[in-house]
Amino acid sequence: MASFEQHIHDKPTTFISKYIFSFDHKVIGKQYLWYGIFFLLVGGLMALLIRWTLAFPGHAMPIVGHLLFPATNGVVPPDSYAMLFTMHGTIMIFFAITPILIGAFGNFCIPLMIGARDMVFPSLNMMSFWVAVVSGLLLLAGLITPLGAAAGGWTSYPTLSTLLGSPGVGQTLWTMSIFVLGISSLMGAVNYITTIIVLRAPGMGYFDMPLTIWGVWMTSILNAIFIPVLGAGCLLLIFDRVFGTTFFLAGATATQGGGDPLLFQHVFWIFGHPEVYILILPGWGIVSDLLSFFARKPAFGAKATAMCMVSITVLSTVVYGHHMFTTQMSPLLTQTFMTLTMTISIPSAIFFVNWLGTLWKGSIRFTSPMLFSIGVIFVFGLGGLTGLYLATVTTDLYLHDTYFVVGHFHYTMAASVLLAGFAGIYFWMPKMFGVLMNEFWGKVHFWLSFLGLNGVFMGMMLAGYGGMHRRLYDPFVYEFLQKLIPVNTFITYSSLLMGGAQVIFVINFIYSIVKNKKVEDNPWEVGTLEWTIPSPAPHYNFKEIPVVKCGPHELGNPALKDRDFQYQTEELVRG
């Protein structure tokens, strides 16, 4: 630990070195945060257009529809609808959630929470962000190509993503964008893993790390292992589209001795299912810490929670086949994948119970970060339980590719990760910017978001159970689905409520920064290392590398007389 000598570097003096090409992990974390919030806005607007089209087929969305689709009097045309759900899924997963949960919180929190002055490879860190920017520009460039952006779904299965299904340049740019983003993520993963291993403060064992760091660490390991798999698939797809190869060409096996669209599905989901945990593990870590901090008691089963993260990381590598039960997979394989998927629910359930144990008999402070953290417990519980139906072969055959899958996926990924991300933003706002966001409007933001997202995603599962297939431009041309029009209308109104709540967040976020009303160094009264230094953190983080003497969740100790929390740099007080 702390085997690398850590120097205090000179503070940058120019605007470019301080805010643009910065080597400071805190500035890079903020850059990722702004990057993610921008794409969250873009992806959210696309979601509203999708929902409006499903609730009111053939009707223009006021103002926005006329601005974006003047040729059709504001009505979203079918080809643009396919582009919208493709880009919405891609943006939300790779360009909003990933930058905020992994890029922003990973960069900002790791050195501060392990007692380091910066990442172990600052130059690589800076490069990883700007490579991500290049990736985002490639993706957005598809929107201005003659045939529009990619429209083959966020998974981009061949044949939809080959030249037969997507002849335009947009799909090629999409594939290149994901490949380039993978390079950025690999840079970050190498940096995160190495930093956590070699730059932990003296005295900080692995189980003395906050659970936030455990989550980012496990995520980085999965990224390092599985992003090259997705990169290989994207590279082969680019070869098929640009150079005329036949890796994923349907029928190529019969005529040329190679090529199969299902090969891409295997490659994609070998990465894609670990990707679910790549995105959720940092959120789980944040929530595990925040529940302890605001229940004012030690995290229940903290070591078990960390080991559950490890177990989930390992098991996530062998369950991908449950996405492919309908692809004529061997029954022996389906049984194996079903069993493994059921097995991964065990550490997830332990996670859930540990969260409830942390809350039990706690002296709970219902702050904005705490409300969002408790919200994660609810939505993750629903997402996990509904996943069991999709892991079971017999029920999945009916539910596969319906809106039930979309609802489950969004509960597990979008809702859990979004709420965890907001919890982190509200909590670390003083450390990032030296200000607190308004608590009243933070709570309004939570309740409107919570009600809106449950209306959206619960409604999706009801529609899917009723037989509504995903990706249909107008499902109601089928008579048996017309009874679901009121459900879809309700979902759309819920999505408008959820979207409106984010306007409150943006105003609160920007107003707090502009108003710049400074707060005390440790407003939440928490003992982890980042709260032992001034807020916002100085460029060098720590004048003296701290020595860790206890764990991160020493709260509510009756032996403490003047406060109910203990810093990690203090000897554990025993009664």
Q: Per-residue pLDDT tens for 232-245?
A: 999 999 999 999 88
What does the alpha-carbon distance between residue 323 and residue 153 come to, in Å, rounded to a whole number? Answer: 15
Given the structure tokens 């899924």, which residue do they identify?
89
The per-residue pLDDT for range 67-87, each reduced to its tens digit, is: 989 989 999 999 999 999 999
| Per-residue pLDDT at 252 exceeds 80 | no
Q: Residue 2 has what pLDDT?
A: 45
Q: What is the mean pLDDT of residues 525-548?
A: 93
Whether 575 contacts 557, CB under 8 Å:
yes
- How far separated are the first and last CA of the chain, in Å rounded? 30
Give the CA diameter of the chain: 80
Torsional class of 517: left (φ above 0), alpha (ψ -120 to 50), beta (otherwise)? beta
What the chain holds in terms of domains, given with CATH numbers, is: 28-250+260-532 (1.20.210.10)
Does the N-terminal peptide bond of residue 146 adopt cis geometry, omega within 30 degrees of 0? no
What does the alpha-carbon distance between residue 559 and residue 556 come to, in Å, rounded to a whole number? Answer: 9
Which helix (H) or strand (E) segment is 194 a member of?
helix 169-198
C-beta neighbour count of 497 within 10 angstroms: 16
| Per-residue pLDDT at 108 exceeds 50 | yes
Strand partners, 435: 518
| Per-residue pLDDT at 260 exceeds 90 | no
Which helix (H) or strand (E) segment is 92 a member of?
none
| Per-residue pLDDT at 182 exceeds 90 | yes
- Of residues 228 and 15, the one with the higher pLDDT is 228
Given the structure tokens 């993963």, which residue do they identify?
189
Whether 373 contacts 356, CB under 8 Å:
no
Tokens of 475: 């499902």
Given the structure tokens 């409107």, which residue do they identify?
448
What does the alpha-carbon distance between residue 550 and residue 557 come to, in Å, rounded to a whole number? Answer: 13
Q: Dump the DSSP string for 158-184.
A: TTTTSTTT--SHHHHHHHHHHHHHHHH
| Per-residue pLDDT at 347 exceeds 50 | yes
What does the alpha-carbon distance between residue 83 and residue 539 come to, in Å, rounded to a whole number? Answer: 43
Q: Residue 253 has what pLDDT?
A: 55
- pLDDT confidence of 89, banded at 50, 70, 90? very high
Whether 121 contacts 227, CB under 8 Å:
no
The per-residue pLDDT for range 142-172, each reduced to its tens digit, is: 999 999 999 999 999 998 999 988 999 999 9
Tokens of 369: 């970060």
In whole angstroms, how far apart are CA 357 and each of 108, 297, 371, 528, 553? 29, 10, 17, 21, 14
What does the alpha-carbon distance between residue 514 and residue 114 come to, in Å, rounded to a whole number? Answer: 30
> What is the average pLDDT score of the chain?
93
The per-residue pLDDT for range 465-502, each reduced to its tens digit, is: 999 999 899 999 999 999 999 999 999 999 999 999 99
Burial level of 494, CB count in 10 A (0-12/13-18/19+)? Answer: buried
User: Using alpha carbons only, what angle is made at residue 458 by residues 456 and 463, rounded to the nearest 5 degrees?
Assistant: 90
Q: What is the mean pLDDT of residues 368-393?
A: 94
